[in-house]
């Protein structure tokens, strides 16, 4: 007999739902949701406040594809323009949010 276990968790995604937080608490990454090579686990949090603190207080590693996407979509990050370092206007809180999700295990 199989049993379903369901658990409410919070995850971190960008507001357009194309980037998700993955990895482990000490090595956290922002990954494109549709990256076929990605094998990292999704970071989950037990409360919305914990998830929000995770992207508000500490940042994540990200690859070039994520960095370019966040810059184009949200004007986030730093980049060189005419030999000068320019910062984007968006803050972490402007682009990322805690999203309620449900884990389901079949045992």
Q: Which two tokens stand for residue 31?
A: 């990954």
Q: 52-90, pLDDT tens digit by residue?
A: 998 888 778 888 888 888 888 988 876 655 666 667 778
Q: What is the pLDDT of residue 91?
A: 79
Distance CA 104, CA 107 (A): 10
Distance CA 37, CA 46 (A): 27
Q: What is the pLDDT of residue 1?
A: 85
Q: What is the pLDDT of residue 86?
A: 64
In angstroms, how far is the first alpha carbon of the chain from the final one? 8
Q: What pTM did the predictor assign?
A: 0.84
Distance CA 46, CA 51 (A): 8
CB distance 89 to 77 below 8 Å: no
């Amino acid at each position: 007999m199989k049993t379903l276990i369901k658990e409410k968790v919070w995850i971190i995604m960008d507001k357009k739902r194309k980037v998700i937080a993955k990895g482990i608490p000490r090595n956290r990454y922002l990954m494109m949701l549709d990256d076929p090579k990605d094998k990292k686990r999704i970071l989950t949090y037990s409360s919305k406040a914990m998830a929000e603190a995770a992207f508000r207080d500490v940042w994540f590693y990200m690859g070039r594809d994520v960095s370019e996407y966040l810059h184009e979509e949200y004007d986030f990050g730093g980049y060189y323009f005419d030999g000068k370092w320019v910062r984007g206007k968006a803050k972490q809180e402007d682009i990322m949010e805690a999203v309620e999700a449900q884990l389901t295990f079949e045992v």
